[in-house]
Amino acid sequence: MSKTIAPVKKKKKTKHYYFNIGTEKAIIRYNKTDDVVLKNKIYNEHISYPFDKLAENIIHTFKFYYFDVPSEQVKHEVVSFLVMNMHKFKEGKGKAFSYFSIVAKNYLILHNNKNYKHYKIHDKMEVLDYGNALTNKQDEYDAAEFNKTYVEEMLNYWDENLTNIFRRQKDILVADAVLEMFRRRENIENFNKKALYILIREMTGSKTQHITRIVNVMKKYNIRLQTEFTNTGLIDTANTGSFL
């Protein structure tokens, strides 16, 4: 009687993540040392490939193709921009992969759209009609992703600094109600100004003039927060200094 031979189970190959916790630790070590030789060693051995792969994946995943130069050169420009901004990554302020992905995307969105405008002026109309349809979809996606990430970063900032910026309880109450509108944004169908003011009035009992004053203060902060996010991909919640 022959024995039944059980099939040999193949071991699953471990998926290699090109940008991992080791990469993040290397970036932190890179930022902490002033030794140029050590910096070069850390970069070449642990950061160069992940940055290169990150730039390449973002270019092709989101189809950033409106450039006058080959995508390989665009990739090198993105990597250079990541290296220039490496010192801005702060340990404990989120994942390095998320931070540098946002920095790379923001760089590409800015330059891709500038070049698209150039093509829009100089290309033939029949080419434009096709390109416009594709780019509009890409622009919409990029804007949605940018806004979603920005709102999350902005809410984190206000959660950390609300009571540093507003001291009076009634001001804090109104400001927090404004932020609550952003927290509930996916569940609010009518996002016009009048409806939101009514909601905030009901939540706080404050008069419209008081709400407007607090909203105007928050707008001034948010203009600076948006600039910081556009330039760096993150908002530093530790920055509690007045923007006003």
Average pLDDT over residues 15-33: 88
- Neighbour count for residue 61 (Cβ, 10 Å): 9
Average pLDDT over residues 206-222: 92
pLDDT per residue as tens digits for the range 108-141: 887 776 555 544 444 444 443 444 444 454 455 4
Average pLDDT over residues 207-233: 87
CB proximity list for 123: less than 8 A, separation 6 or greater: 131
DSSP alpha helices (H): ranges in the chain? 21-32, 36-42, 48-61, 71-84, 96-122, 125-165, 169-183, 193-204, 208-232
pTM of the predicted protein model: 0.49
| pLDDT band (50, 70, 90) for residue 30 | very high
Q: Can you give the pLDDT at residue 150? A: 80
Q: Can you give the pLDDT at residue 11? A: 45
Q: Can you give the pLDDT at residue 125? A: 40
| pLDDT band (50, 70, 90) for residue 193 | confident
Q: Can you give the pLDDT at residue 126? A: 41
